[in-house]
Chain A
Amino acid sequence: MKLRRSRRPIIPIVTGIPLSIIAIFVIASRWIVPNATRQDIMTGVTSPGTTGHLFGTDQLGRDITQLAIAGAGSAVVGPIVIALGSMMIGILLGTFAGYMGGWLDLLLSKYADLLLALPTTLVALVVTGLVDGGYWVTVLVLIMLFSPTDIRMVRGSVIAQSGRPYIESAKVLGLGRTRIMFRHILPNVLPVAFSTMLLNVAFALVSMSALSFLGLGVGPGVPDWGRQLSDSRDLLDRNWGSLVLPAMLIIITAAAINLLGDWLQERFEERSVSR
């Protein structure tokens, strides 16, 4: 018996507010804080609450708040590209591997096994560190690291769908493979893929900023939350704002995306159960 409970969408509202503010920062930071990276050696480090500097300044006299607003772009854009790219690979290869099986399937699952045998952080660190890449090389490396789990996820749900009677009916009707794959299987995999992608954005955000914390990824001087955090280690005793603001921004953004992704995933699962 179905027992449906009415629920107010509290999660999208709670997470929507911080996420839209971040989105505004990403899109409009060049107009909101055009001088974020302007250095002022004379000022040097100041503590939070200094006139004109809500969260103080760093060694170079840059305003922490302005720098954090300007850093939203590099913190969020890369992860979105990573999640999108890796899911595109996941959908393309996962669908083929799941529906066709055979050597492609075997190869892909072995590739995934190999990558999952090591911590993502370690592989990302070693590969990006050794190839000396910049921001976009890091993005590319992380796409390669994220895609195996996406391929697996898509492959798993494609296999789950392919065994269902409606797919068998489509086969019996004599529909072609591509039509079954894209018209029948994919629409039923996409909702799960979408929520996984959201969760991946959060994961990629943390990974990217971890790499820039370790001095990889973004170039020096580019505003970035991870780099701000890394810099703040030397300022802890003089300006706690340099730590708290970027740290909170990363934590809140990641948590909001995770909450939203979790909520979506639950909704989709509920729907597929009640069907």
Chain B
Amino acid sequence: MNRGLSLNNLIVTGPAGLIVTCMDLQVEPGQTVALVGESGSGKSMTAKAMTGLLPRGVTATGTLQLGEVTVDLALGPQALLGLRGQQISLLLQNPFTSLSPVHRCGEQITAALSPELRRSKEEIRRRLDEVDLPERVARQYPFELSGGMRQRVALAASLASNPQILIGDEPTTALDVTTQREMLDLLERIQRERDMALLLITHDLGVAQERADKILVMYAGRLVESGQGAEVFAHAQHPYTAGLRDSVPPLEHRLVELRAIAGSVPRPWEVAVGCVFAPRCDRADERCHNEAPELVGTASQVACWKPITTNDIHLPVLTVSDVQTQNTDNELVVITGISKRFSPSAPLALDNVDISIHSGEAVGIVGESGSGKTTLARCLIGLESFDSGNISWSINTPMAQRAQIVFQDPTSALNPAMTIGSALAEALRASHRDKSEVPALLQLVGLPAEYANSYPSGLSGGEQQRVAIARSIAPRPKLLICDEPVSSLDVSVQAQILNLMNSLLKELGIALLFITHDLAVVRQVVSRVYVMSNGRVVESGTMENVLLSPQHEYTRQLFSSVARK
């Protein structure tokens, strides 16, 4: 009996045009298949189409084979009634919104069961036990649980009717690094125990490489490459797959420059003719621009006219030593013993933190959410007050020329009612510089001068972040603070921004405070790092030393969870 899943010729159409084109995929029982792609690649829409959850105005065609049953997706969600939950189930990304806030967890887990089983204490205990949760969770509300625990509750709920196929749509993306790994281990164990087919939808190449038997790469609504596990990236045939692989910053060493893919991901319906990747591909020729390639191959498949072969010359990867700080003893700013509490009943957000930054030095702060890293940055820049401690600057210029900040979400960091040009002109004027420098500023961050007349909404996320960076360097600050500046960007764009930051540091000679949860990212930029946890600095030192011999238990935990996802 065939118990797996087979999707044939899926086409998803939205009001603006095609979202997913000619998608085929198979998942066998006990097998993990990862569907990888950047935002807008159509991977989530594929999952929604398979579970009949497409938003209004979006339709799908194609056939879905679930075990013995064949479903015509054109018939809409009706065709999936009786199959959802029983055959196929979906685990969503955000555990904070995927459970009803006013129902107890136990109720939600067993809702799909028969009325007798629904009330059985024994059944609930068994279900909670499977996802490593204590019995008390049954009586608790979702808001009383941590993110990781909520996602376990959601997992237990999605498994309630014992489906043979589970789709995980970014099931660990909203979780902290250490929790992420536990969740993935749990998924793997349950999949093995139940001999279930698992389709993992993720933007995280690390997760896909570590956990999947088979990987499919999507780009702009199309499948561009597929193959066995890590092989897909190790021997990438499609230039996009290779580009994606090279965009991921490695934890093991620091690169002189990441090999980023130029440009940004197009909307699927904006692609007229030819290969979808051709506009960003440096191997593209006439045919690539005019004719769309088909997916070909047996064991591994690729949709490319000019796939990369073993004969192609591999450019050597240039790594640099981390210790390249021109460590003058010239301290720019010294933070001593800063403490902060947001409310009398809350725990300390910052607990006696000491940090120093030298002129022209790139320093990182690493920690998970709630570690106090962002609060520290906000105190340093003056957006937040602190209860005790001291910040002393070695320079006497106005605050705006001492430090500037770049935030995580570029969209909300720019005033939607202001053109790029006037936003930059304002930043220049604020430090008594002339607005004639706007074109030069745009050029510095790699944007054409014409962008001065556009509004932020007309720019892609990566371009918006470039503008935000341009604005923050406009007053020529001595220190640039970046708070998770690449976390909301796609991998290929993230590499561009990291390269830009490295070149800016060299060019302007300013100091950098880089705040992130991502060790591999910070490795590519800074030379010295502080590790924070629960409002305290638990470890500090040069990047290399901390990486090679982490001293603190928390740091070790952080590393091991990144090293193997």
Contacts and interface: CB of A to CB of B under 8 A. Distances in A.
Interface residues on A, range: 20 to 34
A200 to B, nearest CB: 23
B15 A4 contact: yes
A172 B16 contact: no
Contacts of B383: 168, 171-172
A171 B414 CA distance: 13
Nearest to A167: B415
Contact of B16 (A3, A168, A169, A272): A3
Given A3-B55, A3-B57, A172-B383, A166 B398 contact: no
B14 interface: yes
A152 to B, nearest CB: 22
A188 interface: yes
A171 to B, nearest CB: 7
Contacts of B457: 274-275
Interface stretch (B127-135, B283-291, B355-363, B402-410): B402-410
Given A3-B57, A4-B15, A174-B398, A169 B471 contact: yes
Interface residues on B, range: 35 or more
Interface string A164-193: 111011111111000000011001100000
Contact of A173 (B44, B58, B416, B427): B427
Given A173-B427, A275-B411, A187 B404 contact: no
Nearest to A1: B40
B400 A165 contact: no
A272 B405 CA distance: 24
B413 A165 contact: yes
A172 B40 contact: no
B448 interface: no
B16 A4 contact: yes
A169 B407 contact: yes
Contacts, number: 80
B525 interface: no
A8 B50 CA distance: 32
Nearest to B408: A165
A273 to B, nearest CB: 11
B430 interface: yes
Contact of B15 (A3, A170, A172): A3
A174 B413 contact: no
A120 to B, nearest CB: 33
Interface in B1-49: 14-16, 19, 39-40, 44-45
Contact of B415 (A4, A6, A174, A188): A188
A78 B426 CA distance: 41
Nearest to B400: A174
Interface in A20-52: none
B155 interface: no
Interface in B454-472: 456-457, 468, 471-472
B421 interface: no
A171 B378 CA distance: 12
A188 B456 CA distance: 14
A5 B13 CA distance: 13
Contacts of B55: 3
A173 B417 CA distance: 18
Contacts of A173: 400, 404, 426-427, 430-431, 471, 475
B343 interface: no
A168 B475 contact: no
Nearest to B414: A166
Interface in A64-108: none
Contacts of A183: 426
A166 B413 CA distance: 4
A170 B471 CA distance: 10
A85 B99 CA distance: 45
B381 interface: yes
Nearest to B405: A172
B382 interface: yes
B15 A1 contact: no
B412 interface: yes
B399 interface: yes
B411 A169 contact: no
Contact of A3 (B14, B415, B416, B430): B14
Nearest to A168: B383
A151 to B, nearest CB: 22
Contacts of A275: 411, 416, 456-457
A3 B58 contact: yes
A61 B430 CA distance: 70
Contact of B413 (A3, A5, A169): A169
A171 B16 CA distance: 39
A188 B14 contact: no
Interface in A186-244: 187-188
A3 B48 CA distance: 15
Given A165-B407, A171-B383, A174-B430, A187 B417 contact: yes
B15 A165 contact: no
Contacts of B44: 1
Given A3-B14, A3-B58, A174-B399, A169 B426 contact: no
Nearest to B42: A1
Interface string A233-275: 0000000000000000000000000000000000000001011
Nearest to A6: B15
Interface string A146-176: 0000000000000000001110111111110
A201 B59 CA distance: 41
Nearest to B475: A173
A169 B472 contact: yes
Interface string A1-25: 1011110000000000000000000
Nearest to A161: B415
Contacts of B381: 172
A165 B55 CA distance: 30
A273 B471 CA distance: 24
Contacts of A1: 14, 19, 39-40, 44-45
A16 B430 CA distance: 45
B56 to A, nearest CB: 9
A272 B400 CA distance: 29
Contacts of B456: 275
A165 B58 CA distance: 33
A165 B398 CA distance: 21
A173 B423 CA distance: 11
13 contacts: A1-B44, A1-B45, A5-B57, A168-B383, A168-B407, A172-B403, A173-B426, A173-B427, A173-B431, A174-B399, A174-B431, A184-B415, A187-B417
Given A174-B400, A275-B416, 10 more contacts: A1-B14, A1-B19, A1-B40, A3-B58, A172-B400, A172-B404, A172-B405, A172-B472, A188-B417, A275-B456
The 4 closest A-B pairs by CB, nearest first: A174-B400, A187-B417, A165-B407, A165-B413
Interface of B: 14-16, 19, 39-40, 44-45, 55, 57-58, 381-383, 398-400, 403-405, 407, 409, 411-418, 426-427, 430-431, 456-457, 468, 471-472, 475
